[in-house]
Amino acid sequence: MPPTRTAKQRRYLVCPPEHFDVRYAINPWMTSLEPVDVPLAHKQWDALVSLYRELGHTVETVEPVADLPDMVFAANSALVLDGRAFGAQFHAPQRQPEAGHYRTWFEDAGFETLVPSHTCEGEGDFTPVGGFILAGTGFRTLPAAHHEAQEFFGTPTVSLHLVDPHFYHLDTALFALDDSNIAYYPGAFSNGSQTVLKKLFPDAVISTREDALAFGLNSISDGRHVVMAQDATGLMESVAAHGYEPIPVDLSEFRKAGGGAKCCTQELRG
C-alpha cells in the first residue's frame, strides 16, 4: 500500500488569458497551424483557477497586458522561496517586457525582488524539491542564472541539461510531487543529468515520452492532489499507484503555445 499523501495549502499567482494567443513561434509547439479557440481558452483557464480554489488554495492575479500573448504563463515570471522573488530575464525578445510587469506585481505585494543578470525564465526552469533547486538549461535559462539563484537563496542548485526541443523548459519534463519526490521523463535530459536525477530521486515516478508530450509533467501538486493534463493517462495511473490523487484538466488551447497547468501557475512560497 502506498503511503497516504498530505495536501499543503498553496498560494498561487496567475495571469488571466485576456490577451492570450499564438502570434509568434519560440518553441516547436507554436508552429501548429491550428488557431487558438479563444473562448475555449478562457473557459479552460477559468476551470483551472476554480479547481485551485476548490482545493483550498489562495489564487492571486496579475493584470494582463495587451500585446503580451504569453504573459498568461505566470510560472516564467520568477522563482519565489521564503517570500523572496528571483525574477525573470526572458530569452525571446517578444517576452522580455513581461519581466517588468511581473516585477512591479512582486514589489507591490511586498516581496524582496532580484532582477537577474542572466537569461532565466523562473519556475519554467527552476523546481525547488528535496532541499535543492533543480535548474534546467539548454534552451532558455543559462547556467550563470543557476549560480545567481544559488547565491540569492543559499540553496544548492543542481544544473540539469535539457536536450529535446519539445521539452524546452524544465517544467515540461519534470515536476515535484511533494517536498521530496518528483516525476520526470528521462529522455528530455542529457545522459549525465539522467544519472544525477537517478541518484537524487531513486523513487521518482518515471513518465513515458507519450505522457510527457501530452504535457503530463507540466503538473501542479499540492502534495496530494495532482492537477494534470487529461491526456496523460498512463502517468495519472502511475501517480495514483504512488498514493497521489490525479485530477485531470483540459488545457488544449494552451498546449498550442507550448504550455499547460504548471506554466499558467506561479507558486508564491512564503
Alpha-carbon distance of 195 to 163, in angstroms, equals 14
Question: 10 Å Cβ neighbour count for 108?
Answer: 9
Taking the least distance from each CB to ligand ARG, the nearer of 5 and 52 is 52
Q: Which three cell numbers stand for residue 170?
A: 524544465
Taking the least distance from each CB to ligand ARG, the nearer of 87 and 258 is 258
- Asked if 111 and 84 count as a contact pair (C-beta separation under 8 A), the reply is yes
Taking the least distance from each CB to ligand ARG, the nearer of 91 and 103 is 91
In order, the DSSP letters of 179-224 are SS-EEE-GGGB-HHHHHHHHHH-TTPEEPPHHHHHTTTTS-EESSS
Is-catalytic flag, 19?
no
Alpha-carbon distance of 26 to 185, in angstroms, equals 22
Indicate the SS3 state at residue 67: coil
- Asked if 176 and 127 count as a contact pair (C-beta separation under 8 A), the reply is yes
Q: Residue 4 Cβ, how far from ligand ARG at the closest point, in Å? A: 30
Backbone φ and ψ of 232, nearest 5°: -85, 60
Q: Residue 250 Cβ, how far from ligand ARG at the closest point, in Å? A: 17
73-98: b (≥16 Cβ within 10 Å) or e = bbbbbbbbbeebbbbbbbbeebbeeb
Q: Residue 169 Cβ, how far from ligand ARG at the closest point, in Å? A: 4
Q: Residue 123 Cβ, how far from ligand ARG at the closest point, in Å? A: 6
Is-catalytic flag, 15?
no
- Asked if 206 and 183 count as a contact pair (C-beta separation under 8 A), the reply is yes
List of residues contacting ligand ARG (CB under 6 A) = 26-27, 30, 70, 73, 75-76, 95, 124, 169, 171-172, 257-259, 263
Taking the least distance from each CB to ligand ARG, the nearer of 35 and 56 is 35
Query: Which of 91, 169, 225, 264 is flagged as catalytic?
Result: 169
Taking the least distance from each CB to ligand ARG, the nearer of 5 and 89 is 89
Taking the least distance from each CB to ligand ARG, the nearer of 37 and 237 is 37
Cβ-proximal residue to ligand ARG, closest one: 263
Q: Residue 170 Cβ, how far from ligand ARG at the closest point, in Å? A: 8
List of residues 6+ apart from 150 with CB closer than 8 A: 133, 156, 157
Catalytic residue positions, numbered: 169, 263
